Structure 1
Amino acid sequence: MITREELYRLVWSVSGKVAAAKLGVSDSYLKRVCTALDVPRPELGWWRKREVGRAPAPPPLPAVRPGRPTSWSKGAAGGAWFKPHYRELDLVNDPIVAGVHRLVIHSREILSRADRSLDGAVLLVNRSHRILDLSLSEKSVDAGLRFANALFIELEGRGHRITTAPVDNLIRPPISNWGREPAHVRLPQPDHIPRFPTIVHIHGVPMGLAILEIVEEAEMRYVGGGVYVPASAPPPAAGIHWTEWRRTPTGRLKLAAYSPYRPLPWLREWTEARRGTFASKTKTLALATELELAAAELGTTREMHDRTAAAAAGHARARDSSHRAAQELDGTDRSPPPVQQPLFTLSKPPQGRDTRPSETAMPRLDWSTEARGTTT
């Protein structure tokens, strides 16, 4: 058996693979145990930074939360009780760990293994992962996650819970990340529509959030090896090269707030005028306040939509009721007339059967002069 204090000292003294080997489990299983015991572990690249003396200090071990396990033993009884704590996102009791939102921690880990789109403008993530709603290029991941972390911590501090919700009755509509509509590049389908939308609950109003990187079209020159440079660059002295219009990321971010309800289209957007505008504390506070105002607007819009839909449904029920009452009063059937059946139908001949008339079925007509009884 190992306690959470012993596990904390182990994972911060040796690499994950070495620690997993000491416990007789796999590296991925060790991550689950750390999650279940609320033990922070080194993030990707921490050991390399430590080798050059640039690694940040390990975060402190958080206090034990009520109802959480305090120790683990391989193959011990009670695994059915321990297993539910393997979940990577326990956002109910403690959404923030050492100044970082748990959704940001999990998203960074998944994005570090993501593939790039064909044009390299967006990182593609499997929709089964329950991460933040992000549409970013590889170069903008750090900036996007820093902005998301600052905004989410501010919203959580104001009492607005942030979760990733399964798409049961909620939706995530397509949101364009083009700065302006392209003239040369064909508009592709959205690269990333998550299965679990990111939802912020502000004063009882659920509102969807998405962070996207603005893209523009640019004429680029292919110089070989999968590398594209601006078309204004001089062509290479040797080798095959050409120019083409491509979608290119700009590094500017856009925050989108939308209605997660299907019959209610509603969208508000905020876009950086210059790269890094969202990084300031003042802008983060302003965006959090504007999201609160937007949630109030969405709540009012939804109430009006629900009242209109309820009134329309009531009128439809009243119309149907009066129609049935009129039928019972005059004893006539005002239902639509039945559909008349055709007098005959054309059936297709069986395949493989020769349907041409035979000589015995149709008499041959003789147009000779002898047959007509005339002479020349």
Structure 2
Amino acid sequence: MITREALYDLVWSMPMTKVAAQFKVSGSYMARVCSVLKVPRPERGYWAKLAVGRAPKQPPLPPPLPGDPETWSLTGTLPTPPKPRPRPAVIPRPPTPAPVRQRQITGTHPLIQGAKAHCLNSRPVDDDGYLRPYKKLLVDLHASRSGLDKALAFGNDLFNALESAGHRVVMAAFDSGFSRRRLSEKEATPNLPDRKLPRQANTSKVELLTC
């Protein structure tokens, strides 16, 4: 009978063929004994490297785990080395897509291009009242003649900001069902009847801007 410790010292002191000859077994059988007892043994070519001083470092004998055999006898039955448990399959995770950098959109938005001329081509309005352009298919805004440039500039900045954030700003289809609330120039005052604001109070005032 030989212990793990004694077998470890033996296989690192002479080639496996000589160790096997002492027990009158083959070298492959002796290698199986080392595997069953979990005794590390020299790799192929170790002794030739040792002769020229280039042998790898000798690994230590690991401690036995609960249930591992710690001795071997020539008259005993050599147990089959336990097969390593298969590792669970690792499902590769899909690569994380790189964040899409939004392109900053500048310049005149298509809905604003040419809108000023159409807005100025308006039905007659009182003084500086809200323009009423004849053209129907036009960006929907309420602005006086003096406030038109400011309204168009605001709309252009708004549309470009939405487009830069990945949204699409286009003219709604005729049958889309969109509608807007009617606008009033009146201001409600508590406990007082509605009154119309003085005309100068509406100067350069943008009431609504949608599309």
TM-score normalized by structure 1?
0.24
More strand by share: 1
TM-score normalized by structure 2?
0.42
Q: Which has the higher contact order (CA 8 A, sep 6+)?
A: 2
More helix by share: 1
The higher radius of gyration belongs to 2
